[in-house]
Structure 1
Amino acid sequence: MADGGWIVVIGVSVVNLCTRSIEPSFGLLFGDLLKEMGVETTGAAIIMSTLDALINFSGLFVGPIIRAFSYRKVSLLGSALSGLGLILTYPASTMAHLLITYSIINGLGVGLTSSSTFVALNNYFVKRRGQAVGFSLAGTAFGMMLMPQAVKLLLDLYSFRGTILILGAFALNGIVGSSLLQPAKWHFVPQSKTEEELGYHQEMETIKETEDEDAELAEGQTLITNKVTSDLAIKTLDELSKPGGLARKSTFPRNFSTMSFMGNRKRKNSIDSASSVSRLDFTGSSIHLQFDSKEIDEPMYGSARQLRRNMSYPGVQLSPQHKIIQVHPTPVKKKPKKTAWQKIVVFMDFDLLKDPIYLNLVFGLSIFYVAEQNFKMVTPFFFKDIGYDKSDVALFLSVQALTDILARLILPPICDRLLISKRTLFMTGIFVLGICRSVLAEQTEWTMIMIWLFVCGFFRGAALINFTITISEYSSLEKLPAAFGLHMVGKGLFVVVFGPLLGQIRDKTGSFPICLHSQTFLIMLCCLAWTIEYAVRYFRTRSAESDTDTTTT
């Protein structure tokens, strides 16, 4: 299982490298084309916001699709769509063309691969989930380090149209990585059970005859026989106690301590050894089973034997007097039919939206995601605005990605050993990251920019290794595809609302530093919302503990 799990990590890393590493180089790749179209920062924000919206809105149906097919097939489809979207962007000359090919087709493909690869990792890893996610995301960070240099080189050689064709062909290599995402059940090793575990029974339980034993019983040996079609012949225990009245092989399921039968591994031997005990339990008592013949028709006679199996007579307190147990058929209550909306809620797991903690979790992750995506889009324009050329911009992005990779490789083993939730670690990381980015926004010197990009990259990696794990940490494995999918939808909604707003802030103010500070403000909103939740939960826990202490006293 371990070997198969790390192969899946390699596959996920390849998929991320091929489909997501181009995103930070958007401004570098599309900058000249957007300038020719006469589109300002707002146009770039619309393209990126639409891309993110498709990536995340795919989560609305990716959960049911993964359940219906498999995460491997969904990842294969996503990788193919991502490469196709980039290739079709080749002749783009209008905003509409870019939105359809790059934002919609490519975005849908990236969304499918993101969800399916995340579910694949969580099916393989539990204890080392942080390391697995960190190593798999290292593929993305490695691509982010190399891609700016590669994009600059390709643009110099082939211009935009040749570059986008090459990048589209590169994205199709994600199909190779997707093929490595084998279903986890292929690698399950069945646990061997000892003889004691196989023969274990509960201390008190009903042991029933098997179908083979039931077939061996003669009809005259059963407690209830069918003499005529409308009457039931009733045998009292007085009659059964006579020779031949009750066969050695018991017809009653019995409640008794199974600990005394641990040495007997054969069911028949266990039942035979307790048959005399069963008769002694009824000494001095007589019992009749009387059925209401008006409510029982012919098929009921055939079920009398089944009824005999499910009645546990030693649990009935009997007196020496004559007692009658009347058994009447219980009407089966029909379950009310679910409405179409209720079926949709169950199928899509919309009941998660009733959980306030989950909603607050999605809010924080979504608001941070908007700030992160906008930062990746704006920074190339910011560096150009303060006088740096494409070579410097490519170097800046590569340095940031380098420290990002270091954080993803170094920190996951440490974080997995800390007795701190991944959500708390993520919140700490983004808090420091927001402050560092605001400091970076005020720098203009080459050396200081390099230093703060180095720091920002490290804390970005420290935060993102725990970004998706906060969802898997909160959700069960069965609910994980739906929880992650709805979380992606939340991110998409926030990107649609706040993405263009951040672009408008830049265009209205004419200042990139103010735009970067507004991103830090969104990050701090996430920290504030989660801190309030932590405080409320803490005081509720203290209040509940004090009430418990008072009650105990």
Structure 2
Amino acid sequence: MFMEQKKMVPPDGGWGWMVVLGVSLVNLCTRSIEQSFGLLFGDLLDEMGVKTTGSAMIMSALDALINFSGLLVGPLIRAFSYRKVSLAGAFLCSLGLITTFPANNMGHILITYSIINGLGVGLASSATFVALNNYFVKKRGQAVGLSLAGTAFGMMVMPQAVKLLLDAYSFRGAILVLGAFALNGVVGSCLLQPANWHYVEEQKEVEDGAPHKEMETIKETDDEEGDIFEDQKLLSPKLNSEVLVIETLEDLGKQSTLMRKGTFPRNFSTLSFVGTRKRKVSMESVMSSYSRLDFTGSSLQLHLETNHLPVDKPPEGALRRNMSYPGVQPKRRRVIVPSPALEMKPPKKNNLWQKIVEFMDFDLLKDPIYLNLVFGLSMFYVAEQNFKMVTPFFFKSIGYDKQDVATFLSVQAATDILARLILPPICDRLTISKRTLFMTGIFVLGICRSVLAMQTEKKWILVWLMVCGFFRGSALINFAICISEYSTLEKLPAAFGLHNVGKGLFVVALGPVLGIIRDSTESFPMCLHSQTFLIMLCCAAWSLEYSIRYLKSRKKENEPPPVS
């Protein structure tokens, strides 16, 4: 008896929650400093005479390295593992921050903070996201939301910590302490064990009674006549010494004249009969119809010539599947159908570019839906990164000191964390796609940020920051899942990596433009409104795609069925 091999699947829990803890720790140590960039580097950049455009260039270069590292993520994870890639990323992030402490010009900051630190953050964040998707399927939203809570918690605590460090040690001492803190990301990376160490057996519900054996002998009786599938006969030529040449299936059907007779034991694969008693005859191809034939234990041979086979109707002698007749052995009867010789063509060799495309999974770039997905996510990402950089300068421009700025950033991060803790279990139970939930969240977020740009009173700034923080958290819990929801697990590292590259390209192209808008208009509110415009471009592009797909589906439904 053949034993069915158990399918192993991700645990959706178990050690996966330790992985969530590890990813959260990596995010806390490597990404929480980003929102405090203006607070940490503000005085140093003022001493250097660097304006908003220069700050935008530093942040754009940082984001570019974070995202362009996506080109390396897929091959590196395939060659090593997501744990080793995350370890390397956490170490590079710490190295970049530590080597920034003697900086006295913009070029030094670009090399150490933007390039080395950015490369480390990109490798660590991509590797940890792939790790989560290998451990979770049904609870993926909860896992990603909890892991991102580490980043949000860091964004809430980090502004206060940066202010205290600046007061105690100035910029150079503060950046050294932050670099040492980032090294704790190595500890979180150590928790990212290979997922196949913790796979569990897939649980299947058995609906129709006891499980069936792989093979069992069924005695045929007269009562079995009712079990014959519709429009099917047995193939059994007369047993004599003639040689019959069959050229078409019609000839083959004419020879199928032996009536079924009881008393012969037959072996059936009962797996074919689990679930229903009747089955449609597939006519997708002639060979698929004849794949049902099993002549185990018989000397009967068929050679089919496909160019004589009808494809518009089932053959007269349709065959029953998985049967053998040990009691009937044709002795001198042979059935021969002439068939042409098979021509074996040598496989085509891929050139260098085709090998690169296959290795890097560049075929994803042929998918218009994937490209539109990357476009929308990139638009939001540019707006989000620019908002984190500009807001400290905006609050400073309307008369608030470092303590107030730190309080504002912490309040926004607090509601961000609240959304990441509350919403993921709810979103996982909804039938709405994560992409639609993300688009709804950023639409409201863009409007709220434009309203925030018009506020000057402290109480209203705090109110709108709390609202913005909540909707920011609701959007970011679904940001990366939009990619994993669309991609298969095998393509996920490449899909996420190319998505990061797309974000990097848009950051390089549009990040400085937002800085130029601010410097030319000398208006921070105008810069914030420009970020909202980018968010609305994402919503418009995705809404257009949804409309096109909806119209195509309606058109397909209204098409008359083909006449048979």
TM-score class normalised by the smaller sequence: 0.7 to 0.9
- The equivalences for 1:104-115 within 5 A come to 104-115=115-126
Select between 467-476 and 317-326 the one with higher mean Cα deviation.
317-326
Which of 46, 50, 54 aligns to 1:43? It is 54
Which of the residues 420, 426, 451 maps onto 1:439?
451
1:395 is aligned to 2:407: yes
SS at match of 2:559: helix
Distance 1:129 1:377 in 2: 30
- TM-superposed deviation, 1:189: 3.0
- Tell me how many residue pairs correspond in the alignment: 465
Change (3 A) 1:487 1:319: same
Question: Structure 1 residues 321, 93: closer, same or farther in 2, change over 3 A?
Answer: same
| Aligned-partner residue type, residue 141 of structure 1 | A
- Indicate the RMSD between aligned Cα atoms, in angstroms: 3.2
Which residue is 2:533 aligned to? 521
Quick one: distance in 1 between partners of 2:302 and 2:347?
34
Aligned partners of 1:203 and 1:259 also within 8 Å = no
Residues 57 and 489 in structure 1, CA contact (< 8 A), matched pair in contact too: yes
Confirm or deny that 1:153 pairs with 2:164.
yes
Contact persistence 1:502–1:515 (CA under 8 A): yes
Residue number among 336, 358, 383 corresponding to 1:371 in the alignment: 383
Which residue of the partner structure matches residue 512 of structure 2?
Answer: 500
What SS is found at the alignment partner of 1:536? helix
Q: In the TM superposition, what whole-angstrom CA distance separates every residue of 1:406-454 from its partner, at most 9, and x where no partner exists?
A: 0000111111111100000000000000000000000001111011001
Could you say which residue in structure 2 is the equivalent of 1:99?
110
Is the CA contact (8 Å cut-off) linking 2:215 and 2:268 kept in structure 1?
Answer: no
Give runs of aligned pairs for residues 466-481 of structure 1, distance below 5 A.
466-481=478-493
Aligned partner of 1:172: which letter?
L
Q: What is the CA–CA distance in structure 1 between the aligned matches of 2:50 and 2:166, rounded to whole Å? A: 20
- 1:532–1:256: structure 2 CA closer, same or farther, 3 Å change rule? same
Q: Sequence identity of aligned pairs in percent?
A: 70
Larger radius of gyration: 1
The 1:479–1:510 alpha-carbon spacing in structure 2 relative to 1, beyond 3 Å, is: same
Q: SS where residue 192 of structure 2 aligns?
A: coil
Matched residue, 1:452: 464
1:477 Cα deviation from its structure 2 partner: 0.5
Corresponding residue number in structure 1 for 2:68: 57
Residue 200 of structure 1 is matched in structure 2 by: 214
TM-superposed CA distance for 1:203, in Å, is 12
**Distance in 1, Cα, partners of 2:474 & 2:335:** 75
Could you say what secondary structure the match of 1:499 adopts? Answer: helix
1:537 aligns with 2:529: no
Gaps of 5+ in 1: 205-236, 239-254, 263-276, 290-311
Contact 1:434–1:524 (CA<8 Å) still a contact in 2?
Answer: yes
Alpha-carbon distance change, 55 to 322 in structure 1, aligned in 2, over 3 angstroms: closer
Q: Give the letter for the 1:123 counterpart.
A: N
For 1:427, the equivalent position in structure 2 comes to 439
- In structure 2, relative to structure 1, the CA distance for the partners of 1:278 and 1:551 (3 Å cut) is closer
Deviations 1:308-345 (A, max 9, x none): xxxx998xx98976666889985532101101101111
TM-score, normalising length from structure 1? 0.79
Show CA shifts across 1:530-549 (max 9, x none).
0000000000000000004x
Residue by residue over 1:120-176, the C-alpha shift from the partner in whole angstroms, topping out at 9 and shown as x without a partner, is 000011111111000000000000000000000000000000000000000000000
- 1:402–1:457 Cα contact (<8 Å) kept: yes
Contact 1:8 1:180 in 2 (8 A): yes
Tell me, in whole angstroms, the C-alpha distance in 2 between the residues paired with 1:323 and 1:414: 65
Q: Distance in 2 between matches of 1:525 and 1:180?
A: 39
1:233-263 Cα offsets, whole Å, 9 max, x none, are xxxx99xxxxxxxxxxxxxxxx96334999x
Alignment partner, residue 371 of structure 2: 359
Q: Which residue of 2 aligns with 1:16?
A: 27
1:286-435 equivalences in 2 (<5 Å)? 330=342, 332-435=344-447
Instruction: State the 1:288 CA deviation.
Output: 13
Gaps of 5+ in 2: 1-10, 219-239, 242-265, 274-294, 304-322
Q: Structure 2: how far apart are the matches of 1:539 and 1:149?
A: 52
Alpha-carbon offset, residue 202 of structure 1:
11
Q: Distance in 2 between matches of 1:202 and 1:421?
A: 45
1:4-30 per-residue CA deviation (whole Å, 9 max, x = no partner) reads 010000000000000000000000000
User: In the alignment, what sits opposite 1:251?
Assistant: none
CA separation of 1:257/1:466 partners in 2, compared to 1, >3 Å: closer, same or farther?
same
8 Å CA contact retained: 1:203, 1:258: no
Give, in whole Å, the separation in 2 of the partners of 1:25 and 1:260.
62
C-alpha change, 1:322 and 1:200, in structure 2 (3 Å) is closer
